[in-house]
Structure 1
Amino acid sequence: MKKFIRLASLAMAGLAVAACLASCGDDSGNKGTETTTASGASDSNSTVDKVKDLYGSLDYSGRKFRILALEAGEQWYNFISDTANEVWFEDAGSDVLQKAIYERNDQTQKLLGIEIEPVWGGGSENIYKRLVQDTAAGVDDYDVAFLSLANALTAAQGGTTMNFNNTETFDPTHKWWDEKFIKECTLYNEDLYAVAGALNIWDDCSNNCYIFNKDLLEKYDVDSPYDSVFDGTWTLDTLVEDIKKLTVDVNGDQDFDENDNWGIGTYGNGVRFALCGFDGGIAKMAEEGYPEIVCNNETTIQKCKDWFDKVTNSDCLYNCGVNGTTSYEDLFEQGQLGFGMTNLTHPFKLRNMSDEYGILPEPKYNTEQQDYTSTVNTAFFTAYVLPKNCQDPNMAAACLEVMSGFSVDTLDDSLHTILFGSKLTRDQESRKILTIISETISFDWSGIGDWNNGLAACFEMRQGSSFTLASSLASTVDSAQTGLDSMLESFSTLQ
């Protein structure tokens, strides 16, 4: 990467010091004035010590670090609380996440000599529009911006943000960054226009998953799916067998609606969601470092058809607006839905649910599929970007590095140990499954950037309609490829 070439050159200037550090482990703080590398850190296992070793010599003398941020009430933060956000709080408060964010920021401010200042920007779409407008106008009102991944890479595509790997203070190999995100969202294996990691909440919570009502399954003599998950036999056919038993005309009026019990619920037909669990997708990052369309083949089409025939048109799938006006989320919380297709933000809404629930990975297509697979919801997934007008990208990148490093033992630990380790999960099986889910995540580029020209819409066949995916793909894929090529050309010309 270009960044590492610069780092190597800067490291040469302090070769004697580096040699001393390497040989005797001395952590006397003899580093460059701005740039540090992972090899300059001490051997301490403490993340805090490593952050201090890497960035402790930087002093920004009270400068403000301004974050154009998603604010409370946006980005589904109300699932957590009315005041929840991922960036800044005035005080530690009593909420576990608020306290963790406050402590993370306080440590960052003290180490770097900065003042973190939020610039509340509303929702992700508003922040994206502001990035575009401010780039054109030359406005410098913030140092970084924080928005959804879907909007972040669209902004980058339009030339409104900078490549993190062109800064001298950012290192994508640090353990506090999301390794899978770095791998699958770094273009040409060297250009990274957004970052996510320990300093985020919603990046880990945007992972697709299933939830299931344990009480409802027990009521209708449906075996718990946990054993199937752990022995590798949690598949589409297993799911279909279960949802048929759970779909019950409770009031006996022969009209299935929101007053009855349903096997499974989601928004839409569930085809794209299910495909990610079937070791498939629409567009994935290739080893060469650019996304490619992977859905226009017989295997993918057959997997989608099996889901569409067995679930979408099975009379077991509840759809708000089709089968009733109650959302499937509310139906689940009311104890009328067996399985919900969702993501890991959903358990925040279930803290007061009276019925017992569990968390599951997406089912496999069949038992021949080796591993469970999934993806993230790029509208939920949050990321930081460097605006084109940022006057000191090295400072901005350093601030994010320190914030993310200090988040490991504060925010990230609170999210996983306290919340997902106890408060948001109700049994040990769900906690084990969270590890499975975290290991199966990938990023589908159909929801990243502005390029697909209706390709994703091919999968949105209406419940009760005919399966038309093959013909839709045939008439759309060339246009989508043109859009993808155009996006990649845009990125290739960015500095």
Structure 2
Amino acid sequence: MKRFTLLVLLAALLAGCGDTPVPAETTVPEASAETTEAPLPTFDFEGIALNVLAAESTAYIGYLDVAEQTGEVLNDAIFACNRAVEERLNIVIEQTLEGASAANKTAEALIMASDHVYDLLSLTDRNAFNLAVQGMLLPYDSLPNVDLTQEYWAQGINDTLRMMDRYWLATGDFNLSYYDYTFMMVFNKQLADDLKLDNPYALVNSGKWTLDAFSKMCIGANRDLNGDSKMDDADQWAWSGAYQNIAPSLWVASGAQSIHKNDDDLPVFTMGSDSHFTEVFMKIYDIAFTRGCYHHKTDTQSITALPAFKEGRALFQTTSFQELDGEYYRDMTIDYGILPHPKWDENQAEYYSHVAGGRLFVVPVTAKETEMIGASLEALSRQASEDIIPAYYEIALKSKYTRDDESAKMFDIITDSRIYDLGATIWTNQIRSGFIMRMMKDGSNALASEVEANRAMVEGELQKAIDGFKAQK
């Protein structure tokens, strides 16, 4: 990812923070026009419309365009980006917004009916994948003017979504939902100081932020604040977070996957045969339940445990960019920092960040103006990398999320290594939000028996996809 020094970007953001110094060397993704990429070609599509069906949601950014400038940083960056693309290509972006579920239904109905109304349609990733299986979408690599090797395309995510060496689906920097659903950890800096813990930032920077280091910090962090001799909602916890997210965030961070792909670039359910996955899962279970570090709740997703961090009663919390902008963090007064999830051990070269899905903009097989659509997608992703992504970072770095100079580097680490696990996204209903979430809810470590109990169901779903893609070759 392109970078530039934060002097310009952060000077204005930190000027109002009293004696907080402006960092001299910290870096974030580049906003300047200085780039090593070849200039995008200029087209003249004679003012035709790029018709887009997008999603309106309070949970993530599912829209592609905004109607006008409002003075809000991210809104105006999206506006500027899209107007620049319109001018470069001589097109007009026409966006229709529907609620997330309604947009899914509308898109699926139009595509199944071969009714060409939109050039791009926004669907939840698993809904989009199902349409790709049925041959209802044009692969991105079949579109003229699209170069998926460029860094403004999410190459790691796209390679995971690739099937049989075809990019039926893809995402790039114009699609902010994949940033919104990127997971990280937050930590309470005052509690860390009170507990005399190692500096988490120093551990990350030295490559020593591992599951063992995380476990060591968690042990002894619980406190029975109300003195009733039991740990409950009123007490201090080492770690909290929605239990459908804690396990995949940590196994992805440890370099494990619930589904791999074989030599034919097709999915294989490997949880039962992957010794590393089993070892990682058992370590997660040990920290969460054997050692009792996790604020375990049994409501639908352990959501009632989340306010503990905002109230200063949790040392760590697993969360996402989207959640950081939600009610549990808004107007929070405690001083906190942001970290990637810990890696497996010091031999692991990188930190990895779990991406729990998002919306995908797909091209229906009925699309006619494929040259314009391809050029638009390429230009939108390239322009977004220069306009929108730096603005997204500015929002994140501007008091909503972070309060220290180390934050920018942590954001780089978190977003530079975003990883997609097919069992926590495309097949989340079967795996992550299926038996894994149930195990976390029940505090169970019976991984082998759960895998075997669900194997036929999971492999049956994978086989449907395999058959669908093979039929299109």
Which residue of 2 is the match for residue 315 of structure 1?
292
Answer yes or no: is the 8 Å Cα contact 1:185–1:285 preserved in 2: no
Answer yes or no: is the 8 Å Cα contact 2:140–2:168 preserved in 1: yes
Q: 2:354 aligns with which of 351, 359, 375?
A: 375
1:485 and 2:463 are equivalent in the alignment: yes
Q: Secondary structure at the match of 2:150?
A: coil
2:186 counterpart letter in structure 1: I
Q: 2:452 aligns with which of 474, 488, 493?
A: 474
TM-score by length of structure 1 reads 0.80
Aligned length: 435
Separation (CA, whole Å) in 2 of partners of 1:441 and 1:48: 22
Answer yes or no: is the 8 Å Cα contact 2:62–2:175 preserved in 1: no
1:60 counterpart letter in structure 2: F
Which residue of 2 is the match for residue 131 of structure 1?
107
Shift of 1:347: 3.2
Which residue of 2 is the match for residue 60 of structure 1?
45
Answer yes or no: is the 8 Å Cα contact 1:421–1:431 preserved in 2: yes
1:352 counterpart letter in structure 2: D
Q: 1:165 aligns with which of 113, 131, 141?
A: 141
Shift of 1:455: 8.1
1:292 and 2:268 are equivalent in the alignment: yes
1:257 and 2:232 are equivalent in the alignment: yes
Taking the TM superposition and a 5 Å limit, the aligned residue runs for 1:95-134 are: 95-123=72-100, 125-134=101-110
Unaligned runs of 5+ in 1: 1-43, 78-83
Tell which structure's C-alpha radius of gyration is larger: 1
**Change over 3 Å in CA distance of 1:449–1:310 after alignment to 2:** closer
1:363 and 2:342 are equivalent in the alignment: yes
Shift of 1:325: 8.2
1:225 and 2:225 are equivalent in the alignment: no
Separation (CA, whole Å) in 2 of partners of 1:323 and 1:390: 41
Which residue of 2 is the match for residue 81 of structure 1?
none
Which residue of 1 is the match for residue 17 of structure 2?
none
Answer yes or no: is the 8 Å Cα contact 1:263–1:316 preserved in 2: yes
Separation (CA, whole Å) in 2 of partners of 1:166 and 1:85: 24
Shift of 1:339: 0.6
Unaligned runs of 5+ in 2: 1-32
Separation (CA, whole Å) in 1 of partners of 2:62 and 2:111: 25
1:330 and 2:307 are equivalent in the alignment: yes
Answer yes or no: is the 8 Å Cα contact 2:107–2:122 preserved in 1: no
Q: Deviations over 1:294-319 (max 9, x none)?
A: 32233322321222133134332113
Q: 2:54 aligns with which of 52, 65, 69?
A: 69
Which residue of 2 is the match for residue 205 of structure 1?
180
**Change over 3 Å in CA distance of 1:275–1:347 after alignment to 2:** same
1:244 and 2:240 are equivalent in the alignment: no
Which residue of 1 is the match for residue 16 of structure 2?
none
Higher relative contact order (CA 8 A, sep 6+): 2
Which residue of 2 is the match for residue 435 of structure 1?
412
Q: Secondary structure at the match of 1:162?
A: coil
Shift of 1:100: 0.5
Q: 2:242 aligns with which of 267, 280, 284?
A: 267
**Change over 3 Å in CA distance of 1:300–1:180 after alignment to 2:** closer
Q: More displaced, 277-286 or 259-268?
A: 277-286
**Change over 3 Å in CA distance of 1:128–1:61 after alignment to 2:** same
Shift of 1:85: 5.2
1:280 counterpart letter in structure 2: A
Answer yes or no: is the 8 Å Cα contact 1:47–1:406 preserved in 2: no
Q: 2:39 aligns with which of 50, 55, 61?
A: 50
RMSD: 2.8
